[in-house]
Amino acid sequence: MKKLIFVSLMICFLGCNEQQHKPKLFIPYSKINLSIIKFDSNYSIHYTLLNNGNGTLLIDTASSSCGCTEPILTSKRINPDDSAFLTVNYKPADTGYFNEKVVIKSNIDSLFSIVSFEGRAIK
């Protein structure tokens, strides 16, 4: 009986301990408005990725759906209370309004996070 109680307490302790060591991704400015930009120029958009949780944040990928957008991470491993940077290089594919998104896949509960930027490209 004592063995059963001990095993039950250990399972409860390990389960509670696991809950406490989770990463939490916080992006202060996840939506950026570039306003009006030149069509034939290159731009770099910068995002800060903060880990406000108690576990290590592991970023698997940062990807976009368009060839005009290239995400670059400074680190794929972010310790608790630390940060990394995501730079997105962008060259407008056409003139007019744009709204680009970068999907960040990581080990947080929601699995995916999205950053975006928008504006209007002119000649």
pTM of the predicted protein model: 0.81
Q: Per-residue confidence of the chain (123 residues) as pLDDT tens digits?
A: 555 555 555 555 555 555 578 999 999 999 999 999 999 899 999 999 999 999 999 999 999 988 899 999 999 999 999 999 999 999 998 999 999 999 999 999 988 999 999 999 999
Report the pLDDT value the prediction gives residue 104, as an integer from 0 to 100: 98
CATH for 27: 2.60.40.10
Report the pLDDT value the prediction gives residue 99, as an integer from 0 to 100: 96
Of 70, 80, 72, 28, nearest to 49 (Cα)? 28
Report the pLDDT value the prediction gives residue 9, as an integer from 0 to 100: 53
User: What DSSP string describes the chain?
Assistant: -HHHHHHHHHHHHHHHHHHHS---EE-TT-EEEEEEEETT--EEEEEEEEE-SSS-EEEEEEEESSTTEEEEES-SEE-TT-EEEEEEEE--SSSEEEEEEEEEEESSTT-EEEEEEEEEEE-
Q: What residues make up the domain containing 24?
A: 2-122
Report the pLDDT value the prediction gives residue 16, as an integer from 0 to 100: 53
- The domain tally of the chain equals 1
